[in-house]
Amino acid sequence: MINLDVVQLSRLQFGLTAMYHFLFVPLTLGLSFLLAIMESVYVMTNRPIWRDMTKFWGLLFGINFAMGVATGVTLEFQFGTNWAYYSHYVGDIFGSLLAIEGLMAFFLEATFIGLFFFGWDKISKIQHLTVTWLLAIATNFSALWILIANAWMQNPVGSAFNPDTMRMELTSFYDIFFNPVAQSKFVHTVSAGYVTGAMFVMSVSAYYLLRKRHIAFAKRSIAVAASFGLASALSVVVLGDESGYTATQHQKMKLAGIEAMWETEPAPAGFTVFGIPDIANHKTNYEVKIPWMLGLIATRSLTQEIPGIKNLVEQSKVRIRNGIIAYDALQQLRKDRTNEALKKQFNAHANDLGYALLLKRRHEPVVGATDAQINQAAADTIPNVAPLFWSFRIMVGLGLFFIFFFAFAFFTSAKKNVERHPWFLRLAVASLPLPWVAIELGWFVAENGRQPWAIEGVLPTYLATSSVSAGNVWITLIGFVVFYTVLAIVDAYLMIKYVKLGPVDAFKKGH
């Protein structure tokens, strides 16, 4: 058996379950709005084919939604099982966001999906259309709260450490909700989900055209997916620029890791299109750069330099030393809570307390750490550069591909001759998994680029886990792998079954 400690196993388990769950989320986001668009056309034209389209894609949406629910519940349970100290330390903030997501969004989503499936012949067309639009809004509203929670982990605004309770506590819900990282993350993520939904409809419809089946249905579905997908693909790229800017403001080390940028880049920094990161020698070989591009994306200026990894490590050393002062004052405050001088000393360096906690991984007690130990703790702030570098570039390459793909689909749909391009139809079928590849790489970059932090600058990941044995985590990890494999087989079987049946027949057999 692979020799992994509790922290590594807990990270592996959460990473696998989170990325598996997110196979279903983007398709739910994308299909929900496509359903609303298709049913809107049905209500306006009263043409039965648009009703059939809404019901068929709605059936596939329902299968995917059920799988998303089944796989999403386990994620929240893990905060209490594998990440107990995380839940204790930041539960006042993080727990409230998850509660809001469950109460305000998920229940709404579940209510409207029931009305969508069982209300076709029980409520009027306008009422059912209203339900479908509310379902799409509720689905995106559910994603909003999860992404706000995740953004707080990347940029912990609206909170402060309380030395009396030894926990992070909420200071401003407004700041958390309007966290700039949350805003850019939400619009970027949901736009990627829209691309996924559009590609799914495109691929299945292209399959029908290649098989000479359901031609009128497939051509109309492609027309909707092409326009929706093109707008969404453009949004992903444009809004990705905003994510780069917020990373520059709040996660400089992540940006430097993505660029494999060891030295500080003078303004205006160039974007590395290609290169071979040399981790051992702290450089990137065979670089091909686009001048000025990174400076414009990351700083919105031509005069601001971008700090490199080496420079950021030196800054971390300073913050660790300041954090040691805060840690020492905190330890003394626990014995004498009325000492105003200690409170003042702690408050002066409280923002760097998390950096001192990095020392606990290699040195106990924190106070009295040597220069060598501080240097090692600072070096631990460097993420795994090579996987970040390549994952980001593959993701960007796929994003550009989606723009050209949907642009061609939109052009041929407008000319009503998409079926005359069998090479493109075959490309559409083959491209089905690509949005998921891009999205999973995006989440890998976002989460792995934050390491070694569970909460950026506040709580190191290795401190956030529960006090459980590695053997216990192995048991649950294996159990999740088996369970999720079964779910994947069931999901693939159902999806393939109803796609092969085609519209109308699939909906009848689905009920």
List all residues 6 or more positions away from 93 whose beta carbon is below 8 Å from its beta carbon.
Answer: 152, 156, 158, 159, 168, 169, 170, 176
Among residues 476, 298, 288, 451, the alpha carbon closest in space to that of 384 is found at 451
Mean pLDDT of the chain: 89
How confident is the model at residue 504, as a pLDDT?
62
Q: Give the residue, 141 or 56, on which the prediction is more confident.
A: 56
Reduce the secondary structure of 369-423 to three states and give it as a string: CCHHHHHHHHHCCCCCHHHHHHHHHHHHHHHHHHHHHHHHHHHHHHCCCHHHCHH
Q: Give the residue, 192 or 304, on which the prediction is more confident.
A: 192
User: If pLDDT is split at 50, 70 and 90, which confidence band does 290 have?
Assistant: confident
How many other CB atoms sit within 10 Å of the CB of residue 37? 19
Per-residue model confidence as pLDDT tens digits over 371-422 = 999 999 999 999 999 999 999 999 999 999 999 999 999 999 998 888 899 9
C-alpha span between 42 and 48 (Å, rounded): 7
User: If pLDDT is split at 50, 70 and 90, which confidence band does 456 have?
Assistant: very high
User: If pLDDT is split at 50, 70 and 90, which confidence band does 510 have?
Assistant: very low
How confident is the model at residue 241, as a pLDDT?
66
C-alpha span between 122 and 213 (Å, rounded): 31
Tell me the one-letter amino acid at 416.
Answer: K
Per-residue model confidence as pLDDT tens digits over 168-178 = 999 999 999 99
Is residue 450 a contact partner of residue 255, using CB atoms and an 8 Å limit?
A: no
For residue 163, give the 3-state DSSP assignment.
Answer: coil
Per-residue model confidence as pLDDT tens digits over 299-349 = 777 888 889 999 999 999 999 999 999 999 999 988 888 888 888 999 999
Please provide the DSSP assignment of 114-133 as one string.
Answer: HHHHH-TTTS-HHHHHHHHH
Of 50-64, 107-121, 396-410, 419-433, the least confident: 107-121
User: Across the chain, which distance is largest between two alpha carbons, in Å?
Assistant: 81
How confident is the model at residue 488, as a pLDDT?
87
Q: Is 278 left (phi over 0), alpha (psi -120 to 50) or beta?
A: beta
Q: Report the predicted TM-score, pTM, of the whole model to 2 decimal places.
A: 0.92
Is residue 507 pLDDT above 60, yes or no? no
List all residues 6 or more positions away from 31 whose beta carbon is below 8 Å from its beta carbon.
Answer: 57, 58, 60, 61, 64, 197, 200, 201
Residue with tokens 């596939």: 60
Q: Residue 460 — φ and ψ, nearest 5°?
A: -65, 145
Alpha carbon of 92 to those of 124, 149, 168: distances in Å?
Answer: 44, 12, 7
Report residue 384 CA to chain centroid gap: 18
C-alpha span between 271 and 266 (Å, rounded): 12
Write out the two tokens for 295: 């400076």
How confident is the model at residue 3, as a pLDDT?
61
Is residue 202 pLDDT above 60, yes or no? yes
Per-residue model confidence as pLDDT tens digits over 65-86 = 988 888 887 887 888 888 999 9
Is residue 187 pLDDT above 50, yes or no? yes
How confident is the model at residue 271, as a pLDDT?
87
Q: Is the dihedral of CA 4, 436, 252, 350 positive or negative?
A: negative
Counting other chains too, the contacts that 2-8 makes at CB distance below 8 Å and 24 or more residues apart are 4/470, 5/470, 6/465, 6/466, 6/468, 6/469, 6/470, 6/473, 7/461, 7/462, 7/465
Tell me the one-letter amino acid at 460.
Answer: P
C-alpha span between 12 and 86 (Å, rounded): 16
Percent of the chain with pLDDT over 70: 96
C-alpha span between 358 and 452 (Å, rounded): 9
Among residues 269, 289, 267, 285, the alpha carbon closest in space to that of 277 is found at 285
C-alpha span between 235 and 237 (Å, rounded): 5
User: If pLDDT is split at 50, 70 and 90, which confidence band does 1 have?
Assistant: very low
C-alpha span between 257 and 445 (Å, rounded): 10
